[in-house]
Amino acid sequence: MGRIYHLWTSEVHYIAHLAQCSFTNKRTLTQEDEALRECYRLAGSNWPAVSSLMWSRFKYVRNEAQCRERWTVALDPNINRGPWTREEHERILQLYEEIGPKWAVIAEALETRLVFAYFLQLINTLLPVAL
């Protein structure tokens, strides 16, 4: 239990860090998000180019990792952030039983949520019910 709790708490702190991604001022957050959307539209997932465009077009200083993390965690429209479905729960449990805690493989198999979302869903919701 101690190891799982440690993994869970460290993952929660990491998620909180990623969600902020140095985009902290709420007033400029929306402006920066719109700028990031525009830069992503122009450069795609070429994060060095996105970072350069953020500076050259909008005068926001963001490195490639910050741009990628903000896009992935908060802005990517392909990521499902809605409620979990019963089918997703069943598929997560099935994959977890088959391959174990290989979260990247589970995320790739389901392709609709972030890797750590599957981990948190399993730890918080599914494992207590399964036990």
If asked whether residues 23 and 54 sit together in one domain, one would say yes
Establish if 114 belongs to a structural domain. Answer: yes
Q: How far apart are CA 22 and CA 42, in angstroms?
A: 22
Residue 85 predicted with pLDDT over 70: yes
- Token representation of residue 27: 């007033």
Contact indicator for 94, 109 with CB cutoff of 8 Å:
no
| Number of domain units in the chain | 2
C-alpha–C-alpha distance, residues 77 and 94, integer Å: 27
The pLDDT of residue 9 is 45
Residue 81 in any domain: the answer is no
Question: To the nearest whole percent, how much of the chain has pLDDT over 70?
Answer: 74
Question: What is residue 81's predicted lDDT score, i.e. its pLDDT?
Answer: 84
- Domain residues for the domain of 94 are 86-130
Least confident among 8-17, 19-28, 100-109: 8-17
pTM beyond cutoff 0.85: no
Please check whether residues 65 and 97 belong to one and the same domain. no
C-alpha distances (whole Å) from 128 to each of 32, 79, 122, 124 are: 39, 26, 9, 7
Same domain, 23 and 68: yes
Tracing tokens 């909008």 back to the chain, one arrives at 58
| 58 shares a domain with 25 | yes
Tokens of 21: 């991604």
Q: What is the DSSP string of 76-131?
A: -TTS--SPPPHHHHHHHHHHHHHH-S-HHHHHHHH-SS-HHHHHHHIIIIIHHHH-
Residue 50 has pLDDT above 80, yes or no: yes
The more confident residue out of 51 and 120 is 51
Residue 40 confidence (pLDDT):
96
Residue 104: inside a domain: yes
